[in-house]
Amino acid sequence: MDIDQPNNGSFVDFGGGVQLLPGGGARAALPALLVGICVSGAVGNLLVLLVFHRDFRRARGSEVKALLAAAACADLALLLLCGPVRAVAYHRRSWTLGGFACSTADWLQHACVVAKTLILAATSHAKTEPLAVAVPGGGGGGVRATWIPPALALIWTVAALLPLPLLLFASLQPHGADGDAYVCVSETPACAADFMGLFYKIYPALGFALPIAFTLARYVKALHTAVNMHAATSASGSSSSGKVTLVLLCATGANALLLLPEWSAFTWTRLGHNRPPVGLAVFAQILVYSSGCALPTILMSMYDDVRAGVAGLWFACTCRGTGRHAAKRNINRCPRNEENGAEAGAHASGGLGGVDEHEAMSSPTPQEPDDGKTFPDVEHFWTGRRNTHVEPDQDPVPWERDEKML
């Protein structure tokens, strides 16, 4: 089958990723790059989900965190279910995954992308107009947002129905002189050309342009209001709310910029224009999967709750891994919750370097001189300043004496 000249004159494009890539270097480099992006993005989204899970267990959850966790789940579905299919298509140069995978590849990718875009739009609504009811002392995360599960079910339903024509018109076609190889193509029948032409004009607007414009407009308005409120009242609460709004605005903007090339190429080619160069099409698809890494990267670098949660998870894993060895050495590397910073620092400094108890006993330590002489300022400081009479030239805090004389 000739991809450029279909038999029935209808439009034909690759489904499930660009196939028949020229050159041997691309067959090895592109799958490796895509797998690396998918693995790193999956790890980042899992860390974000673990942090939000701990926050809800400790009654520090919110509507925004619940929706961001749903967006992370959409990223996980995109990276783990769609990424490997593209990697195999790049490597094999033909379609070897069967007809079911060919029919659902583009549909599933678009469903995940549209679902994440709509979830980010719902997050902007939850941030600017929260609807949750606080539950004092509740064990369910501190908030009761009954509207979130139905909203997520509606979002995923809409995201699955919007790209449904992509599932209907994807099929396997033989390729090559012998016909032993197959390619996955998206072919529009001549009888459905008018309907699909209208669909390709409405679908990008509903699935990408309108939700992104709505989300950016809500965040810009909320950020402008928070800045004005902070300038008028200098309240710390408004500053914190504005910072979270800025984080969400950056996440939405990054998602829009990374998806824009793919949506542009999708709309351009399906409206009857020539297909873009192979390199541009592959680059646009790589950016789609890079968007799955953008959200956890922004949250872990800019969102204080997520950054502190990741640090807490790392600290808990480190303490759990070294707790057994520390118990044998009688060294407490992890401070207790009731300890203050000085006590925590003392425990941490006691465990640095992994010095053994016998080595510590044999190592030379500073001792008091044998002649009984001590430094008056050090003795005066570490005994709680029980001595009230100190010579003026030996007082370690002379400014207090000056204040008493005033």
Which mean pLDDT values do the consecutive 10-residue runs of the chain (406 residues) have?
48 75 76 93 94 89 91 95 90 85 92 96 85 48 72 95 89 75 83 85 93 92 75 56 86 94 88 77 92 93 89 81 54 49 42 40 46 52 54 67 53
> φ and ψ at 32, to 5 degrees?
-65, -45
pLDDT of residue 46: 95
CB contact at 8 A, 325 and 270? no
352 class by beta-carbon count within 10 Å (0-12 exposed, 13-18 middle, 19+ buried): exposed
pLDDT of residue 78: 95
Question: How far is residue 65's CA from residue 71's CA, in Å, rounded to a whole number?
Answer: 10
Question: How far is residue 330's CA from residue 358's CA, in Å, rounded to a whole number?
Answer: 12
Q: Collapsing DSSP states into helix, strand and coil, what is residue 81? A: helix
Q: Collapsing DSSP states into helix, strand and coil, what is residue 28? A: helix
Tell me the residue type at 329: R
Question: How far is residue 248's CA from residue 267's CA, in Å, rounded to a whole number?
Answer: 27
Element at 218 (helix H, strand E): helix 210-233
CB contact at 8 A, 93 and 27? yes
Tokens of 361: 């006993």
Pick the closest to residue 302 from 248, 258, 254 (CA basis). 248
321 class by beta-carbon count within 10 Å (0-12 exposed, 13-18 middle, 19+ buried): exposed
Pick the closest to residue 186 from 173, 170, 209, 205 (CA basis). 170
- How far from each other are the two terminal CA atoms of the chain, in whole angstroms? 98
- Bridge partner list, 187: 12
Q: Please state the pTM of the whole predicted model.
A: 0.74
> φ and ψ at 254, to 5 degrees?
-65, -40
pLDDT of residue 324: 54
Q: Collapsing DSSP states into helix, strand and coil, what is residue 267? A: helix
Residue carrying structure tokens 């090339």:
261
Task: Report angle CA 20, 26, 31 to the nearest 5 degrees.
Answer: 95
Tokens of 181: 């190889």
Question: How far is residue 235's CA from residue 302's CA, in Å, rounded to a whole number?
Answer: 20
Q: Is 17 left (phi over 0), alpha (psi -120 to 50) or beta?
A: left
Question: How far is residue 262's CA from residue 230's CA, in Å, rounded to a whole number?
Answer: 39
What does R_g of the chain's alpha carbons equal in angstroms? 31
Bridge-based pairing of strands 12-14 and 133-134 is unpaired
Residue carrying structure tokens 């790059």:
33
Tokens of 144: 């009761």
Question: How far is residue 16's CA from residue 185's CA, in Å, rounded to a whole number?
Answer: 8
Question: How far is residue 38's CA from residue 293's CA, in Å, rounded to a whole number?
Answer: 8
Q: Is 132 left (phi over 0), alpha (psi -120 to 50) or beta?
A: beta
